[in-house]
Amino acid sequence: MTRYGIKDNQVRAFNKMIRISHQKLNLVCDLIRGLPVERAIDVLKFSKKRVAGEVLKTLMSAIANAEHNKNLGADTLFVKEIWCGKALTMKRIMPGPRGSARPILKPFSNLTIVLESGVAPKAAKVKKEAKK
C-alpha cells in the first residue's frame, strides 16, 4: 500500500527553510544521490560545503524514521531520492551610489530525502564491474 506517494519499504524526511540557495544545496544533494546510507554519511561528514551539516541532519532524521516508524534496518537503506527546491527569499536593500538602492536577496531552500530498503543501484553496478 502506498501512502503519500511512498511505498512500505520507503521513508522520507524534510528540512524546510534552510538558509542557502537551492543551487548550492543541489551540489551537495548530487554527491549522495543513490548511495547506501553508511557511504552517504561518510561523504557528508568529510564534505567542505557549509550546507553538508544540514543535509546530514536530515539524513539522520530519515534513518531514525525508518528504524522507529517502519522497523527497517539501517544497514539495508540507500538514498532513493533527494531533491531541493526554493522557499521564500528575504529581500534587503543596500545603499548605492548617488542615493540609489541595490537589492540584496537572501534565499531559503527546502530539502526532501527518500530512503528505500534494499540494494542501492550504484552499489550493484560497482559489484557487477568488480566481477568482470
CATH code at position 98:
3.90.470.10
Please give the model's pTM, rounded to 2 decimal places: 0.86
pLDDT interval class at 123 (50, 70, 90): low
Domain presence at residue 2:
no
The greatest distance separating any two alpha carbons of the chain, rounded to the nearest whole angstrom, comes to 69
* Count of the separate structural domains present in the chain: 1
Q: What percent of the chain has pLDDT over 70?
A: 89
Q: Quick check: helix, strand or coil at residue 30?
A: helix
Report whether pLDDT(9) > 80. yes
Domain that holds residue 82: 10-131
What value does the mean pLDDT take over residues 1-22?
87
Element (H, E) at 11: strand 10-18
Domain presence at residue 5:
no
Domain presence at residue 37:
yes
Domain presence at residue 4:
no
Domain presence at residue 77:
yes
Domain presence at residue 65:
yes
Q: Cell 568482470 identifies what position? A: 132
| Per-residue pLDDT tens over the stretch 46-103 | 999 999 999 999 999 999 999 999 999 999 999 999 999 999 999 999 999 999 999 9
What value does the mean pLDDT take over residues 2-31?
91
Quick check: 111 and 18 in contact, CB under 8 A? yes
Strands (E), 40-132: 77-95, 101-117
Domain presence at residue 118:
yes
